Chains A and B, each alone.
Chain A
Amino acid sequence: MWKAILSPDFFGTILRATTPILFATLASCVASKSGITNMALEGILLFSALFGVIFSSITHSWLLGLIITVVIGGLIGLILAFFVLNLKTDEILAAIAINLTATGGTVLLLLAFSGDRGVSSSIRSVSAPSLTIPLIDKIPFIGQVLSGQNILTWLSLVAVIVMHLFLYKTPLGLSIRAVGENKNAAESVGISSRRIQYIALVISGCLAAFGGFFLSGGYMNMFTKDMSSGRGFIALAAASMGGNTPIGGLLVSLLFGLASALANVMQLMSVMPYEIILMVPYLTTLIGLGVYYYAQKKKKERLSGK
């Protein structure tokens, strides 16, 4: 088993499993920084997974499919923003509504579009290609891990850097952080907090859509019902544990990616019943949150000298 775990292949699996969670984590970061918890990520992932399949098959192009999917992801973010900011709906309730709509809606849309029930087996979708970057694939081990990863996996790593620069180095990023931390302060200098939160939620929706597209057009090559399987919620936990920063989010996402990859390897080894192994990512989330917040509590207590 150890030989399988320490192989470059295994690390490649971690990266693949991390990609959708990482996109969703970044999506959660930007929403949280603006002061809103985007709990609709799960639904956006699921919708995007379906739309990715549908639109890449219509356009015969993964890139066009991706672009349309990301635009729709942004639109769902916009809808959430409209409910929360204009209609003053509770942000959790609005998100639950979107998530439930996604669960039922994707199955319905799939059936209407292709006649498929639950699995898009008759749709000829186009997946995103893998990418090998010349010099990097020559590096021993790391080259093997990275080489041939899906272009979206590469993109997710680039997105971490872009989001970091965006949040900490641009005027809009500064405004987002200011609104999230003290809305009144931002308003007092003429920043419209509503506009900023709209922007943040649309960006959040777009980022999550990348993750959703990857699920059905990279990680797998088809849509199956409920294929987001909680990754949107895991991402909320990951973003929170990463302090809602892109870099922190990357590190915690990798941890969850590792858990998913381990589950995959253990399935192959059949050391345990399949059903128990499937729980690994969720147990990791639960244990991770417990350990993280316990450590935070201890840290505070240590500081207070008790």
Chain B
Amino acid sequence: MENQVVLEMKHIMKIYGNGVVANEDVSLDLRKGEIHALLGENGAGKSTLMKVLFGIEQPDQGEIVLKGTPVTIKSPQDAISKGIGMVHQHFMLVPSLSVADNIILGVAPKKGIFIDTAKAVDAAQSIAREYNFDINVNDKVEEIPVGIKQKVEILKALYRGAEILILDEPTAVLTPQETEELFVQLLKLREKGHTIIFISHKLDEIKKICDRATIMRNGRSMGTYEVKDITTQEMSRLMVGHEVSLTFDKNEQHLTDNIFMRVRNLTVHNSQGVLKVDDLSFDLKGGEVLGIAGVEGNGQTELIDTLTGLNKKYHGTVQVMGKDIANASIDDIRSMEVAHIPEDRMASGCASTLSIKENLFTNQYKNEKYSSGLMLKGKAMDQRSDELIKEYLIKCKSRRQHVGMLSGGNIQKVIVAREFSTNPKIIIANQPTRGIDVGAAAFIRKRLLEFRDAGCAVILVSADLTEIFSLSDRLAVMYKGKFAGFFTDVANVSEDELGEHMLGIKKDERLEGVLYE
């Protein structure tokens, strides 16, 4: 039984229509009852390989052998019927339906022509109990937290008889405690003989629960290793091709005297009327990075939207450089030298069908340097675009390329280049490195610190705790619209402590150091 191979992918080759070689001779073998890490940077070909396995894409060459017999997997449905399940990074759930309905969707038990509701609830409950998942199956999916949603996704796959479970970056949206809980559950699944493919680029997590790891770079496999026999440094080197320092040496801090941003008693409700920011006050000076950690949906988005002028409905005051922004337009706020790297780069960060050049000037088209008032000054823009592309190491064919054609990391660099090119005094960065490769992320983090050293004030909202820890001078944890914790001595905060604040288990009533007065 031990080491029995359940699935092999042999010499998989996948070339996309646009000529991109996503997988080149990749082989992977999975054993029964193992947690197998698939490791690599964005664009390394992990997703493509999993799409091939799950039947979303067909390989151009190579074969898949399931329990000794070669198979072709034509569609996700086909994959599911062969016992392969996938938990996507973006949850595939229908919000208005109950947990039970989501679990039985597509394979509903019937009574005559109707759904057998009692049986559906029963089936969902018994599978949750079988795997020790503590879930109320009658809850509506839109009302349950992220960690539970993920459990529903796993149950969905198990209900369909998945023996091989693909988890695509499952911990990206979880708190440390939720991650811990997920790991316990994954180990139980392994005990029951399930095989789990764990896609991640968090090396410590892989160290913690994976048995073997296959590392990918540039569409090729860099080999499969026993996790206990390889160090994180080696893994990182195989993944990136060179060693990347994951921590930064920060320079000594030089705070400005005057307060750049002053927020008092800020209260924001979202469009559904839910209280999202609850009586929040803080100060921000030049020369510091204020990190804001927290589980997504605890008011970070609403806070940032208000500070940048995207949301105008709030109570309380926000002052930028001493000026109240209540009646200031987004344009006015930007002219107070505030830059904003938005959370969702495709939705609000760029115009994906416009060129790199055009995107680089969306915040400056009124600037006299680039506009005569009636017509844009093409030459000046061309020249400046080329400078920025060079300075920000944007990998592209030319400045005329559509932004949507670039990789995630390069799109983000275009946005960062645009925002930083105006030499802002305040930078509001919301998830600036989410989902981009390690190299681009390191570049952006380094830039943020350079601005801090130059006396700029930075607000950094991030779900990446390593990023938060390595960049922040002061650190706030948001929970249900309030700061549940505030730390001025970031170096002495443990990840566990931060996690407890993120989950609201621990709350600081006195938030020392939030205000400078």
Residues of A near any B CB (own CB < 8 A): 165, 169-171, 174-175, 177-178, 181-182, 184-191, 300-306
Contacts and interface: CB of A to CB of B under 8 A. Distances in A.
B105 A304 contact: no
Given A182-B94, A190-B80, 18 more contacts: A170-B114, A171-B115, A177-B96, A177-B97, A178-B105, A181-B96, A182-B92, A185-B92, A185-B93, A185-B105, A189-B80, A189-B92, A190-B76, A300-B272, A300-B273, A304-B273, A305-B273, A306-B313
A189 B106 contact: yes
A182 B96 CA distance: 10
A177 B272 contact: no
Interface string B156-168: 1000100000000
A188 B86 contact: yes
A189 B92 CA distance: 9
20 contacts: A171-B110, A171-B115, A174-B97, A177-B94, A181-B95, A182-B93, A182-B94, A184-B90, A185-B91, A185-B94, A185-B105, A186-B106, A188-B92, A190-B106, A191-B105, A303-B273, A304-B270, A304-B272, A305-B273, A306-B269
B119 to A, nearest CB: 12
Given A304-B272, A305-B269, A174 B92 contact: no
A305 B95 CA distance: 25
Given A170-B113, A185-B94, A191 B273 contact: no
Contacts of B273: 300-305
B98 to A, nearest CB: 11
A274 B156 CA distance: 61
| Complex A-B, nearest 7 residue pairs according to Cβ-Cβ distance, in ascending order | A303-B273, A190-B77, A304-B273, A188-B92, A304-B269, A189-B106, A185-B92
Interface in B246-293: 269-275
Contacts of A187: 76, 92
Nearest to A190: B77
B340 to A, nearest CB: 24
Nearest to B267: A305
B101 interface: yes
Interface of B: 75-77, 80, 86, 88, 90-97, 101-102, 105-108, 110, 113-115, 117, 156, 160, 269-275, 313
A178 B76 contact: no
A186 B97 CA distance: 12
Contacts of B88: 184, 188
A188 B76 contact: yes
B83 to A, nearest CB: 13
B272 A303 contact: yes
Contacts of B96: 177, 181
Contact of A174 (B90, B101, B269): B101
B115 to A, nearest CB: 6
B166 to A, nearest CB: 12
A182 B93 CA distance: 7
B160 A189 contact: yes
A171 B108 contact: yes
A301 B90 CA distance: 30
Q: Which of B77, B86, B156 has the most CB of A within 10 A?
A: B77
A301 B102 CA distance: 31
B410 to A, nearest CB: 25
A298 to B, nearest CB: 11
Given A165-B114, A169-B114, A182-B92, A189 B86 contact: no
Contacts of B156: 189
A165 B117 CA distance: 13
Q: Which of B97, B102, B106, B273 has the most CB of A within 10 A?
A: B106
A174 B115 contact: yes
Contacts of A171: 108, 110, 115
Given A169-B115, A186-B94, A305-B269, A174 B108 contact: yes
A175 B102 CA distance: 10
A207 B88 CA distance: 37
Given A169-B115, A182-B94, A184-B92, A304 B76 contact: no
A302 B75 CA distance: 47
A174 B80 CA distance: 20
Contacts of B275: 305
A305 B114 CA distance: 42
Nearest to B276: A304
A174 B269 CA distance: 33
A187 B106 CA distance: 9
